[in-house]
């Protein structure tokens, strides 16, 4: 996210989620209307879901509130930003949220509400290279999966701490064009680091195992990163799983 944009977490936590619906739609109007790259819309939505999670009683409560509250509120608003919000939820939301948002978005589009320019592409980027690098002792490992929208790449990287049971310590997203080459060069120059390209199916297995193990961020920025990128990471894992089938 752009550092000049509002801090979503500070805007929406820790008040009751239901009290934030108007604020979410305002944020959508301010942000989504300016976005041209689908991954930026996904990053915003993932950050939003993570921020709202801090006010929910648990994952099930959050999902119920988003599916049964925010989605209907967006549909009732029937604005361009509301439709854009629904397209984001359809792309990165867990299955019940994605299904509810997809249906609501379809109804708004049928009523003539204008879709954002990235609506057709969001959620289905092309899968590109995957790799991992780790210290030779195997204590920590970074797994990177790369994707592209219309030739514009982005990478989702996850730092896995095997000293803490294989849990996720950090997650980040970059758009660097030569990330793989830069990472490989850095690894070659460091005898204590192992670099290896891996198949998308292998990357998926490693990341699914890490997600099942849990999360262990320690620094404040790591906590923010893991929370903000959690929904996007899960969406990309679903994409990798679908491709594997």
Residue 111 pLDDT grade (very low, low, confident, very high; cuts 50, 70, 90): very high
Structural tokens at position 186: 């850095």
Model pTM score: 0.89
Phi, psi at 50, each rounded to 5°: -65, -40
pLDDT (tens digit per residue) in 135-179: 988 899 999 999 999 999 999 999 999 999 999 999 999 999 889
Beta partners for 155? 146, 174
Residue 231 pLDDT grade (very low, low, confident, very high; cuts 50, 70, 90): very high
Structural tokens at position 116: 């954002």
Beta partners for 148? 126, 153
Cα Rg of the chain, angstroms: 18
Q: What is the pLDDT of residue 23?
A: 86
- Please report the sign of the dihedral spanned by the C-alpha atoms of residue 182, residue 187, residue 157, residue 216: negative
DSSP label at residue 60? H
């Amino acid at each position: 996210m752009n550092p000049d944009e509002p801090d979503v977490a500070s805007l929406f936590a820790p008040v009751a989620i239901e009290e934030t619906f108007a604020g979410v739609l305002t944020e959508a109007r301010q942000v989504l209307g300016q976005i041209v790259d689908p991954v930026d819309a996904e990053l915003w939505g993932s950050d939003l879901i993570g921020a709202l999670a801090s006010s929910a009683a648990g994952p099930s409560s959050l999902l119920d509130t988003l599916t049964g509250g925010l989605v209907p509120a967006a549909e009732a608003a029937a604005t361009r930003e509301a439709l854009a919000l629904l397209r984001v939820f359809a792309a990165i939301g867990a299955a019940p949220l994605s299904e509810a948002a997809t249906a609501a978005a379809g109804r708004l589009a049928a009523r003539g509400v204008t879709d954002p320019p990235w609506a057709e592409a969001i959620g289905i980027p092309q899968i590109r290279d995957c790799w991992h690098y780790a210290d030779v002792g195997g204590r920590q490992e970074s797994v990177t999966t790369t994707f592209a929208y219309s030739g514009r790449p982005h990478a989702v990287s996850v730092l896995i701490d095997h000293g803490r049971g294989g849990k996720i310590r950090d997650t980040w997203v970059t758009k660097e064009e030569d990330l793989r080459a830069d990472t490989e060069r850095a690894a070659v120059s460091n005898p204590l680091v192992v670099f290896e390209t891996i198949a998308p199916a292998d990357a998926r297995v490693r990341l699914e195992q890490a997600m099942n193990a849990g999360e262990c961020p320690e620094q404040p920025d790591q906590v923010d990163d893991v929370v903000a990128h959690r929904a996007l990471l899960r969406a990309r894992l679903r994409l990798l799983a679908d491709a594997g089938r």
